[in-house]
Amino acid sequence: MDRQTFLKLLAAGVVGAAVGRSTASPLGPSPNVTATPETSSRAARTAPVSTAVEARSATGIVPVPPPAGVVAGLPGQGATLALTIDDGTSSDVVAAYVALATSTGIRLTFFPNGCYRSWTESAPALRPLVDAGQVALGNHTWSHPDLTTLGDRQVAAEITRADKFLRNTFGVRSSPFLRPPYGAHTARVDRIAADLGHPTIALWNGTLGDDRVLSAADLLAHAQQWFLAQHIVIGHANHPAVTRIFPQLMALIDERRLQTVTLDDVWSAGD
Ligand SMILES: [Zn+2]
């Protein structure tokens, strides 16, 4: 094992221990539907300076304009892996992912639902990573409805409220990406999203399978199956089991010589 791998494992182990000490319910807190931009701003003002952030240029990847329509995999040849983490029903799991990114430099894309308090709680630690481009944030709606069941006005409201949340909490000015909850979308949903500044429907071609509760062994089996070059892998910050295999996930990325990228690293309209 080389030194870099050891350090990553060490760092991830510390993260795992921190999660293990938590006394919170393993199912995480219930949604905080009253979270407000005011609390977000307060959290952001107290943000500490990050010490383990790499510049976006560290990837050596030149982004191309985000396409209109569905993406479900990364373009071209290469050895990049986009890990995309959704929802955030568990504050402990969100915090663990943020700590993992801080300690290892891994590049992640989060698709938060603003209705969960986990994101405002982790904002002070997360915001420096967002500012540095190590972490990207995309729209996953405010409260995770199946958009295909809603009227046009409600679809727009869910997307707009999530945009406002990302702007107020993390200073995200815009993102081309909508990840529709459950991957459920239609041409109508896509058109509304595009009109609101999200032309790219960000789906996936690999999964940790953790939209339901899985054992660590099952999670690792999914990672073995799907941590592949040019894949977009979906995971969820909802159930704590995944935090216990962070060292194995990092080792897998190293063994396979994969380079983690954010979706913004790959697709960006430019500033
Ligand atoms: Zn989701």
CA of 3 to the centre of ligand 1 (A): 36
Q: What is the pLDDT of residues 2-22, one digit of tens each?
A: 445 444 544 444 344 334 333
- Residue (of 147, 152, 154, 119) closest to 44 by Cα position: 119
- Residue (of 134, 135, 154) closest to 146 by Cα position: 154
The domain limits of the chain are: 3-22+69-266
pLDDT band at 59 (very low <50, low <70, confident <90, very high): confident
CA of 163 to the centre of ligand 1 (A): 16
Evaluate whether 212 touches 177 at the Cβ level (below 8 Å): no
Which string of b and e fits 97-133 if b means at least 16 CB within 10 Å? bbbbbbbbbbbbbbbbbbbbbbbbbbbbbbbbbbeeb
pLDDT (mean) for 119-141: 98
Kindly give, in sequence order, each residue whose CB lies less than 8 Å from that of residue 112, ignoring residues fewer than 6 positions away: 86, 87, 88, 118, 119, 137, 140, 162, 165, 166
Cα separation, 36 vs 169, whole angstroms: 9
CA of 180 to the centre of ligand 1 (A): 7
Q: 201 or 58: whose pLDDT is higher?
A: 201
CA of 87 to the centre of ligand 1 (A): 5
pLDDT band at 175 (very low <50, low <70, confident <90, very high): very high
CA of 24 to the centre of ligand 1 (A): 22
pLDDT (mean) for 252-266: 98
Cα–Cα distances in angstroms (integers) from residue 100 to residues 17, 26, 178, in the given order: 12, 19, 24
pLDDT band at 114 (very low <50, low <70, confident <90, very high): very high
pLDDT band at 269 (very low <50, low <70, confident <90, very high): confident
CA of 49 to the centre of ligand 1 (A): 30
Q: What is the pLDDT of residues 190-230, one digit of tens each?
A: 999 999 999 999 999 999 999 899 999 999 999 999 999 99
Cα separation, 91 vs 100, whole angstroms: 14
CA of 84 to the centre of ligand 1 (A): 11
Class of the CATH-defined domain 3-22+69-266: alpha beta
Six token digits for residue 20: 């293990």
pTM of the model: 0.80
Q: Which helix (H) or strand (E) holds 99?
A: helix 91-104
The alpha carbon of 101 is separated from its chain's Cα centroid by a whole number of angstroms, namely 11
